[in-house]
Structure 1
Amino acid sequence: MKKYRFLIAGLIFLSWTGKVSAQTEVDALRYSRTDFGGSARMQGMAGAQTALGADISTISGNPAGLGLYRRSEISFTPGISLSGSESRLNGSTSATDQRNILNIPSLGIVFTKRKSDTDESDWRSGAFGIGLTRLNNFQNRFSYGGPVDQTRSMVQSLGETAIANQRTEADLDAEYDNGINTLEGLAYSTYLIGVNKIPTNPNNPNSPTQEEIYVESQGNLRQNETITSKGAQNQWDFSYGASYRDKLYLGASVGLTTVRYNQTRVYQEVDADANTDFQDLTLSDEFTTTGSGINLKIGVIVRPVDAVRIGLSVQTPTFYTLRDQYTTSMATTFGGSTPGNYNASVVPGDFEYTLTTPMRANGGVAFFAGKNGFISADVEYVNYGGARLNNSNGADAFSGTNDIIKNTYQSTLNFRVGGEYRYNVFRVRAGYALYGDPYKSSAYDRDKRYITAGVGIKQENHFFDLAVVNSRYNSVYSPYSLIDNLQPVVNSENTTNSVLFTVGFNF
């Protein structure tokens, strides 16, 4: 169900292939490549906050920023996201799909204790914060459809997979009797593929026979598929930051991350040729991943002069324990001389494993123009090839997958820049972020780009902020693989527009 292959010059395609249950390099990247999150104020500046501090977002970004708080604070940030995709099959036929979702990008509370100006102690203040930050929004849906030659169909792919795995009639029958767990087992059970007995000597029908996999003949085909995902990756942070002489700020945090990801796929092939027995197939798949993780983060901010702040934060790898539950089923329809409807399902799966995502390092600098505002810039380093999958029982079952992760993904730099202009109690913000392509070799540009804007009102005891975030990225998908690498390819342009609003109070 969840096996993914590397095809066509190292591109990654999410494919239906022979093994029904597998945790792969795609899972590792999904939970390693996170977005910037936080309050509307920080998202309005594209998350460029490593050197800033004194915002609820520093709880998860750079805990040293808590040392810049002078008063306690509580804030809440609801939002709405509209995700859309435009998908093209083999560069031509396109389909558009959209989803919207209400969410909570950020909430938190900070308790601050600051010494009076008459106190001459070097350690001026300390603050403890608890915050929730959304790291990933998995809400998405895309679909496509178009003609496909029968020699390039999924039925052909299933036959090739059975041959590659050296399936025999005996073991296919045994799988049917004892519980189906492969796609070729599904295809065999629904009469899409079969086994012929061929004499080793064509001139002697009584000679010993050898088995040969065959695929059901198809005519003029159309294929279509819809893939829907939902869920989120969130993190609770427990952070402490302190100020030394209001020049040096230090902080640390513990992050507890939760994951819930659900994906459903429905693939169909329909035969428009009335002269063939095959009429249609429907392959349906659903899997859900749930789990939790933990990481540690330390940070520092230096203020050499009032106009400049320099920040650095380092986060350890996040150690996840995950659980996958999955189902897959096949339905086929035949007409002509052998009419019939056939259905089969794999044995439902349930598997636990662990994932270690890469460490992250952030550096930033901010320049202040007195009380008129500031400009802030960040750079983040992440080595996606450093992610690792392991069995929860310690068995070394993922060595091959981890080699694929190492050889396919690379380290990247993520850039964020943003600014805020202040006039009296009013704030105007804007930002831009570029997150690098994690793939070592690709003919496609899979950077993520963000354009952000925001406004706010800051008063003595409360504040209101509004932000708009536009993100864009490209993805590549193939529903299955073929030996000659001529399987259908779907290119998607994905766009998410988010609007979020923060309300906060100082006390």
Structure 2
Amino acid sequence: MKKIVTFIILLACTTINAQNSTDVLRYSLDNTQGTARFQSMSGAFGALGGDLSALNVNPAGSAVFKNSLFTVSGTAYDRNNSSSYNNTRNKTEENYININQAGGVFILKSSGNSNWKKIALAINYDVVSNFDNEILTSGTSQQGIDNYFLNFAQGVTLGSISRQQGEFLEDAYLDIGANQGFSDQQAFLGYYGGVIDPIDEIDDNTQYIRTAEYNSINQALLKNTSGYNSKLTLNIASQYQNNLYFGASLNFHNVFYQEYKEFTETGYNSDSPIQRTIFDNSLRTEGNGVSLNIGAIAKLNKNVRIGGSYQSPTWYKLDDEFSQRIDSDLGDENINFINFNVVNLFDTYTIKTPSKFTGSLALIFGKDGLLSFDYVYQDMSKGELRPTTDSSFSIENDNIRNNLNAVSTLKIGGEYRISRVSLRAGYRHQQSPYADNNLIGDLTSYSAGIGYNFGGSRLDFSLNQTEQDSSERLFSTGITTPTMINRINTNATLSYTLNF
């Protein structure tokens, strides 16, 4: 009688597809979420303040508020992806709605002749990044999934990836992963999945061949991701005399990320013993982090403000759960017992994201409007996976230092007021984090919005669209032809602010 193993703890934090530079970038780069006013001006608020989401840029901004208030925001997301793989094109589109921001600020004004005019206490929740997305890749290739498994299997003895007498297949899969690592586990999966065979059926065999016959095959990969990276900010700021603002924030981050990859391969030769192979992977990551922001804003005169801020590295503590399933015409009769109920658990690991510096300039045109400029610098090569004593992480950290670059981001925002109506627009350009910008291209964003001030409250609306190209492989090894992806993300955000 067969059993299903639900959880087995892997003893070592062996590198899997998620624990690499992609992870560091996923939690380092934000997506300009926030209030509608913040998004409509592309987040260029470092010298302005006066918006709860501006605390993410410069924590001194809460002291700019003249009164206490509360703001809540909801966003309708549209994710539009176009992929090209070996000259075959696919498109996917996802739509959903979420509450992405909520927070308030309480203003304490000083009495008497104190130089400290007021103190601001703020708490704000923001979705930094939303991971909900779907990408479909399909096309014809000369590189089959057997190459993935062969790259792991060559040089590995057959005896070390064979189940023991009386051992359940799923137990052997988990045991090999726990004691020998991810590479041997994949070799085991390819062997019992029927995709590869040893040249000799002896324990000392170290050479393997594919079982399928093909000149070219049809491949399809559906990649579905979901989750978020959110941030709860506790902020304190103060105004000194009439021209200086100082602030600091303590940020608590919460991460949930889920990735599901469904791969199908067909179109083998008619005499091939395999006619269809499926290989699916599921990754679930949860954790939390902490970071610190400090900043200042100075009014040089009634028309010019400057700002500067520093965001410390964020230290994330993360846990991964990883599951796989495989099937083919030659798969072991019990191969279906290795499924998403058989979960690999990994030791808790840490990601340290790079620190961030922001310099800001704002031009104020009385009550008519303003222009604002932010320059953000973040050196992605300073990101790190920990513990650094883990050999796999040491290799990945070397890759991060060698392949990632410093990222400069320019944000420009403007606002023009007509009585109670505010018209807004913005632009953002973010450099590629990779030395080879063919992997991920520069990001370009345009935004616009409108707001209406009722006196005691305000209603704001924004449209924000980003576009970026990237190149992704179907798997980490074996299939070298990349998928070229064009991502166009559009956010429509509505915010309501109530003054006290």
> 1:257 deviation in Å?
0.5
Match of 2:195 in 1: 192
Q: Deviations over 1:133-153 (max 9, x none)?
A: 11111111101211222xx11
Counterpart residue identity of residue 160, structure 2: D
Show the 5 A alignment for 1:34-433.
34-90=30-86, 92-115=87-110, 119-149=112-142, 152-163=143-154, 166-174=155-163, 178-180=172-174, 181=177, 182-197=185-200, 212-219=207-214, 220-334=216-330, 343=336, 345=338, 348-351=343-346, 352-391=348-387, 398-433=393-428
Supply the AA of the counterpart residue of 2:173.
Answer: G
2:432 matched residue in structure 1:
437
May I ask how many residue pairs the two structures share in their alignment?
469
Q: Distance in 1 between matches of 2:230 and 2:49?
A: 21
Q: Take 2:251 and 2:110, find their aligned partners in 1: how far apart are those partners? A: 28
**Mapping of 1:16-27 within 5 angstroms?**
23-27=19-23
Contact 2:433/2:440 (CA < 8 Å) preserved in 1?
no
Q: Offset of 1:197 from its aligned partner? A: 2.8
For 2:474 and 2:20, the matched residues in 1 are separated by 16
Question: Is 1:480 aligned with 2:471?
Answer: no
Specify the alignment match of 2:496 in structure 1: 503
CA distance in 2: counterparts of 1:356 and 1:459, whole angstroms: 44
User: C-alpha displacement at 1:276, in angstroms?
Assistant: 1.6
SS of the residue aligned with 2:320? Answer: strand
Distance in 1 (CA, whole Å) between partners of 2:118 and 2:288 is 33
Deviations 1:109-149 (A, max 9, x none): 10001246xx3321111110000111111111101211222
Using the TM superposition, give the Cα deviation of residue 444 of structure 1 relative to its aligned residue in structure 2, in angstroms. 5.2
Deviations 1:297-323 (A, max 9, x none): 111000010111101110111111111
Separation (CA, whole Å) in 2 of partners of 1:54 and 1:440: 37
Greater Cα shift, 303-312 or 347-356: 347-356
The alpha-carbon distance between structure 1 residues 228 and 387, as it changes in their structure 2 partners (threshold 3 A), is: same
Taking structure 1 as the reference length, the TM-score comes to: 0.87
Q: Per the alignment, do residues 34 and 277 of structure 1 end up closer, same or farther by CA in structure 2, a change over 3 Å counting? A: same
The structure-2 alpha-carbon separation of the partners of 1:379 and 1:20, relative to structure 1 and needing over 3 Å to count, comes to: closer
8 Å Cα contact 2:15/2:393 also seen in 1: no
- Aligned AA for 1:430? A
Partners of 2:476 and 2:285 in 1: CA distance: 24
Distance change >3 Å, CA 121–CA 29, structure 1 → 2? same
- C-alpha separation between the residues in 2 aligned to 1:120 and 1:78? 42
Percent identity over paired residues: 26
Q: Note closer, same or farther for the CA distance 1:210–1:123 as it changes in structure 2 (3 Å cut).
A: closer
Amino acid at match of 1:449: T
Structure 2 CA distance for partners of 1:482 and 1:314, relative to 1, 3 Å: closer
Contact 1:112 1:127 in 2 (8 A): yes
State whether residues 156 and 206 of structure 2, in contact with CA within 8 Å, keep that contact through their aligned partners in structure 1. no
Distance 1:370 1:428, change over 3 A: same
The aligned residue for residue 8 of structure 2 is none
- Cα distance in 2 between the residues matched to 1:237 and 1:100: 28
CA deviation after TM superposition for structure 1 residue 447, in Å: 1.1
1:136-195 alpha-carbon deviations (Å, 9 max, x no partner): 11111101211222xx111133223311xx112211214857335322211100221111
Asked if 1 retains the 8 angstrom alpha-carbon contact of 2:276 and 2:329, the reply is: yes
Deviation at 1:340, TM superposition (A): 7.8
Q: 1:340 to 1:354 in 2, by over 3 A?
A: closer
- Deviation, 1:344, is 5.7
Give the distance between the partners of 1:22 and 1:94, measured in 2 at CA: 26
2:454 to 447, 459, 484: 459
Equivalent pair of 1:390/1:397 in contact (CA under 8 Å): no
Shift in Å at residue 403 of structure 1? 1.1
Deviations 1:79-129 (A, max 9, x none): 110101000003x1100011112122221110001246xx33211111100
Q: What's the offset of the Cα at 1:37?
A: 2.5
Task: Return the alpha-carbon distance in structure 2 between the equivalents of residues 19 and 399 of structure 1.
Answer: 11
How far apart, in 1, do the equivalents of 2:401 and 2:357 lie? Answer: 19
Do the aligned partners of residues 328 and 41 (structure 1) sit closer, same or farther apart at CA in structure 2, a change above 3 Å counting?
same
Runs of 4+ residues over 6 Å off in structure 1: 338-341
CA distance in 1, matches of 2:163, 2:335: 18
Would the aligned equivalents of 1:428 and 1:456 in 2 still touch at CA under 8 Å?
yes
1:15 is matched with none
Matched residues in 1 for 2:321 and 2:206: separation? 35
C-alpha distance in structure 2 between counterparts of 1:20 and 1:74, whole Å: 43
Instruction: Rate the CA distance shift 1:198–1:332 in 2: closer, same or farther, 3 A.
Output: closer
Q: CA deviation at 1:260?
A: 0.5
User: Please, what is the CA RMSD of the aligned residues?
Assistant: 2.4
Match of 2:5 in 1: none
Q: TM-score when scaled to structure 2?
A: 0.89
In 2, Cα distance between equivalents of 1:239 and 1:231: 26
Higher mean displacement: 92-101 or 51-60: 51-60
Q: Distance in 1 between matches of 2:201 and 2:251?
A: 62
Find the aligned partners of 2:194 and 2:250 in 1 and give their Cα distance: 54
Distance of aligned partners of 1:295 and 1:19 in 2 relative to their CA distance in 1, 3 Å threshold: closer
Return the offset for 1:284. Answer: 0.8
Unaligned runs of 5+ in 1: 1-17, 200-208
Distance 2:205 2:240 in 1: 81
For the residues of structure 1 that align with 2:201 and 2:160, how far apart are their CA atoms? 18
Within 2, Cα distance between the matches of 1:443 and 1:505?
Answer: 45
The secondary structure found in structure 2 opposite 1:454 is strand
> Which residue in 2 is equivalent to 1:446?
441
Structure 1 residue 198, shift from structure 2 partner: 9.7
- The amino acid across from 1:196 in the alignment is I
Contact map agreement 1:20 1:183 (CA 8 A) in 2: no
In structure 2, list runs of 5 or more residues that go unmatched.
Answer: 1-13, 178-184
